[in-house]
Structure 1
Amino acid sequence: MRADAFLARAGRLPVGSLRDLTGGGGLVVVAPHPDDESLGCGGLIAAAAAEGLPVRLVVVSDGVGSHPNSRSHPPARLRDLREAETLAAASALGLAPARVRFLRLPDRAVPGAGPEAEAAARTIAETARECGAGALFVTWAHDPHCDHQAAARIVALARRLCGAVRVHAYPVWGWSLPAGTEVGPEPAGLRLDVSAHAAAKQAAIRAHRSQVTDLIADDPEGFRLEPAMLARFAGSHEIFLDVPPETEP
């Protein structure tokens, strides 16, 4: 199916509940970069935290690729800033700092296979067992970003270590795919109504100041989320695509 048709249909998936998504267990959100969790799963995290479900967040990359030429924020300082922003975002969503793990794999070069990917998968599987997770959430394998695709492959490895656990994909950069891109069969999954948690989600997104403002102004190649992209994640529902084991990357 073409990306434009796929995403249009994804926007019309049936609305489900947290229990429908997790089977009543906890959940682990896997974010390739600091901020993906707020964009794609901010409402999910806030809703689960409000209901008292065990929630964990695993951030895969160190995030230092967003401003590679900044002199004011060399890699170590930028990594610390982005992790602090993530903890602030998590707090806005009701998630305590102890529930967040940073794997610090290299931004723009997250491995999808090999020893580092396998170690990351083991950490995710351990995190899932720790919170009794019924589901893992990770970026869509067709997102046009190498780290998002690698994160999907890492979660596929983790799934094999977790036993009976569901996997759901959330599109982030998939919305920017060329319309004619082939992405496979039509979507299956659910949408979650997150309108009750819209304020918390927007506060979490704003907490990533290095990504949504000119906080770091000395890198002409620095990344900033554009208003149109942010608007995409201001809706009343979040989309979670089913990832059957046989379709994993």
Structure 2
Amino acid sequence: MKAVVIQAAMRTLPPAPLSAIVPGRALILAPHADDESLGCGGLIAACCAAGRPPLVVIVTDGAASHPHSGAWPPPRLRAQRQAEALRAVACLGLTPDHLVFLGLPDAATPHEGPVFEQVVNHLEQLLQTHGCTTIIAPWRADPHCDHEATWKMGVALQRRCGTALLAYPVWGWLLPADTELDHRLPTGMLLDIAPYRALKQRAIGMHESQYGHLITDDPTGFSLPAALLDMLITDFEVFVEP
């Protein structure tokens, strides 16, 4: 099925209240610092406002976004991205004790094997310790290796624990219209985040290293495209059933 059909179907999923999407507490898996705000910023703010703050897990260290920068070597960039994530989730009402950094290598998240299993074991412990009832992971069609690996971690965790699993699209919104996907029409829900849209936009802006104006000595460095921000800073967020 072509990406344009699936993208259109995701935009017209039925709206649902927060209690239907996350009946209890959410475990949100973000491949990189910024994905939590881009894909789930409204949900995080809504959960915090409802007195059920989620646990947000940032999987990678984010240190590969500017590989040719001399001023921002990996240790400095790693620390910067963690600081940005802390500021971003604070905008949404989340306290630092609900944010976990796994620190896996950016652009090299394992899809299987011993390290993958160790991460899933750790996630299981976090899920149980924090009493999470819903896992929220990146959409499996997001065209990025770390997003795909993080989705697989969510699936492995769901199979092990029997916990509900939902997915949020990020880069999948920018798939070319004629891209063929091995997907059926999606099912899932839309969350109205209009009351939190400004908070979400502010949180995304906290990830300043990803906008191109902070790190200026690497012309090949990553910068969030305006087209992606236009797709994600809206009055709704999409949560797809597996």
Q: Which TM class, normalised by the smaller chain length?
A: over 0.9
Q: Which residue number corresponds to residue 103 of structure 1?
A: 102
Q: How does 1:20-35 map to 2 (within 5 A)?
A: 20-22=20-22, 24-35=23-34
What is the DSSP-based 3-state SS (H/G/I as helix, E as strand, rest coil) of the residue aligned with 2:133? strand
**1:1-249 pair list within 5 angstroms:** 1-22=1-22, 24-163=23-162, 165-180=163-178, 181-243=180-242
**Contact in 2 for aligned 1:27/1:131 (Cα 8 Å):** no
How much does 1:177 deviate? Answer: 1.4
Q: Is the 8 A contact 2:7 2:173 kept in 1?
A: yes
CA distance, structure 2, for counterparts of residue 161 and residue 9 of structure 1: 30
- What percent of counterpart residues are identical? 43
CA distance in 1, matches of 2:119, 2:53: 20
**Cα distance, 1:124 vs structure 2:** 1.7
CA distance in 2, matches of 1:87, 1:34: 9
Query: Shift in Å at residue 98 of structure 1?
Result: 1.0
For the Cα contact (< 8 Å) 1:129–1:162, is it kept in 2?
no
SS of the equivalent of 1:66 reads coil
1:85 Cα offset (Å): 0.2
CA deviations 1:162-202 (Å, max 9, x no partner) are 23x11111110101212222231100000000000011101
CA drift at 1:213: 4.0
**SS of residue paired to 1:184:** coil
- 1: CA distance between counterparts of 2:115 and 2:51? 32
Provide the C-alpha distance between the structure 1 equivalents of 2:216 and 2:37, rounded to a whole number of angstroms. Answer: 23
Q: Give how far 1:120 is off.
A: 1.3
Q: Distance in 1 between matches of 2:3 and 2:149?
A: 20
**How much has 1:142 moved relative to structure 2?**
0.7
State the 1:35 CA deviation.
0.2
Deviation at 1:54, TM superposition (A): 3.7
In the alignment, structure 1 segments of 5+ residues that lack a partner are: 244-249
Q: Distance in 2 between matches of 1:197 and 1:39?
A: 13
Q: SS where residue 37 of structure 1 aligns?
A: helix
Do the aligned partners of 1:137 and 1:169 also contact (CA within 8 Å) in 2? yes
Say whether the 8 Å CA contact 2:44–2:53 is kept in structure 1.
Answer: no
- Give the drift of 1:229: 1.4
User: 2:166 corresponds to which letter in structure 1?
Assistant: H
Secondary structure of the residue aligned to 1:101 is strand
Measure the CA separation in 1 of the matches of 2:85 and 2:58: 9
